[in-house]
Structure 1
Amino acid sequence: MAIAIGYLIASLGAFVAYWFSTGEARNTKFKIWGVALMIPISPALAFSIGLSYAISVQNGWAALIMWFIFPVIFFSGLALLLVGLFKKEKKMV
């Protein structure tokens, strides 16, 4: 049940980020998706993937893979947020 809740939180976070980013400027989309990846998606997805993998290999220690998955997703969200904050918009003529 906890695995399903983790996947539900991650998918709900992705849906809300998609909903808020439709019709926005490119930099705003980067900011929204960066925050969404860092706050709701990365912990929930790492937890769910880690427990799913641990159950599939039938080893409780395998759940520690979430300690490797979380920083990868978190830092990709941080990179998106920083790109959204510091990248300049091109002016259309």
Structure 2
Amino acid sequence: MAIAIGFLIAALGAFVAYWFSTGEARNTKLKIWGIALMIPISPALAFSIGLSYAISVQNGWAALIMWFIFPVIFLSGLALLLVGLFKKDKKMV
């Protein structure tokens, strides 16, 4: 049940980020997706993937893979956020 709730939280975070970023400028989309990846999606997805993997290999210690998955997703969200904050828009003449 906890695995399903983790996947549900990640899916809900992705849906809300998609909903808020629809029709926005590119930099705003990057900021929204960066924050969404860092806060709701990365911990829930890392938890769910880690527990799913631990159950599939039948080893409780395998759940520690979430400690490797979380920083990767979090840092990709941070990269999106920083690109959205510091990238300049090109102006068409």
- Which runs of structure 2 are paired with 1:53-72 in the superposition (5 Å)? 53-72=53-72
Q: Which structure 2 segments of 5+ residues have no match?
A: none
Q: What CA deviation, in whole Å up to 9, does each residue of 1:41-93 have, x standing for no partner?
A: 00000000000000000000000000000000000000000000000000022
- Distance in 2 (CA, whole Å) between partners of 1:90 and 1:28 is 14
What TM-score do the two structures reach when normalised by structure 1?
Answer: 0.99
1:18 Cα offset (Å): 0.2
- Distance in 2 (CA, whole Å) between partners of 1:72 and 1:81 is 14
Counterpart position of 1:22: 22
- Distance in 2 (CA, whole Å) between partners of 1:31 and 1:47 is 24
Counterpart position of 1:85: 85
Counterpart position of 1:36: 36
Q: Which structure 1 segments of 5+ residues have no match?
A: none
Q: What CA deviation, in whole Å up to 9, does each residue of 1:9-66 have, x standing for no partner?
A: 0000000000000000000000000000000000000000000000000000000000
- Distance in 2 (CA, whole Å) between partners of 1:5 and 1:81 is 26
Stretches of 4+ aligned residues off by more than 2 angstroms: none
- Distance in 1 (CA, whole Å) between partners of 2:82 and 2:54 is 33
- Distance in 1 (CA, whole Å) between partners of 2:67 and 2:55 is 16
Counterpart position of 1:48: 48
